Amino acid sequence: MTAPMPKLTVVDMHTGGEPVRIVTGGYPPIPSGTILEKRAWVRENLDHLRRLLMFEPRGHYDMYGALLVEPTLTGADLAVLFMHNEGYSTMCGHAVIALGRYAVDRGIVPAVEPLTTVNIEAPCGLVVASVEVKDGKAGAVSFESVPAFLFARDRTADLPGYGTVGFDMAYGGAFYALADCRQFGLEFGRDRVRDFVDAATALTEKLKAEFPLSHPDHADLAFLYGTILTDGGDGSGRPTKNVCVFAEAEVDRSPTGSGVTARLAAMHGRGEIGIGETRTFESIVGSRFTGAVVRTTQAGEHQAIVARVGGRAFYSGTAEFTLEEDDDLGRGFLLK
């Protein structure tokens, strides 16, 4: 029998058009443990609440959420589990940008002008957000990523209907395949979003089946989160456009914070960007993130970088959700 649902309260925000539904009440206590252990426990025991918040009729196919949990890392101001239509991701840059502003506005971290630091524990590790504060109000947010690296470069895959396509594989808190959309006969502003989704999904599914991944920190981080299709640019001179299709063919409206991190890691690994250079990344709805390589580091055997990614988040509403006992559809459904 499905457990009865408590009243769930949320604050809704968006970063570059991509939703962030922050849970503010109604979840039961999460047992202590590492952040990855909490992620596994929530997935195994409370997934019905993810469905209620992310799926219709309260959410939609491309809804995204953030559940705050007790931090365990030394120095962390808050910890978060990210959720979406498929399950629970390990990193989400657009949500980190929103949570940075939220933490200052809610007094989780005292506001300090002109810049307030918010240390956010994510499943991939500690992410350091910097929140611009003026007259007590939080504004733009940037964050320093966990170590990001180019995992594999100049690989190819044979895709039915598309032929042979080239891709890089990079990690920016989650693993992404990176590919030029022109290989699929696509062009931003001309072709349908659906066409980009189909192409990206085809590559993701192919690589999930045939391209093994590994991460030096934990096996739970070694999975392909999605594919990012780019316009082939590098963000210098003019913005480079990309679309991230992740989880169960979910489309990111923002430029994708962890995706921008992965792109920067790939660009640095290919010698296309130096330390301190800033590039601009644009989403399918025209929103923009800035991205720069802050410094180099190491992630196991991989030469890695720490990236800084910046953007703006805005509030869009608050809600209290309930469920009547005999409302089966209210427990969550998706139309694909």
> Which own/partner contact pairs does 194-200 have at CB distance under 8 Å and 24+ positions apart?
196/229, 196/243, 196/245, 196/251, 196/284, 197/245, 197/249, 197/251, 199/162, 199/229, 200/226, 200/227, 200/228, 200/229, 200/243, 200/245, 200/249
Q: Which residues neighbour 91 within 8 Å (Cβ) at sequence distance 6 or greater?
A: 82, 122, 123, 124, 127, 146, 172, 173, 174, 257, 258
Is 200 strand, coil or helix? Answer: helix
| Burial of 331 from C-beta contacts in 10 A (0-12 / 13-18 / 19+) | middle
229 vs 219: CA distance, rounded Å? 26
Mark whether 124 is an active-site residue.
Answer: no
35-45 and 47-54 helices, crossing angle to 10°: 80
Just list the catalytic residues: 92
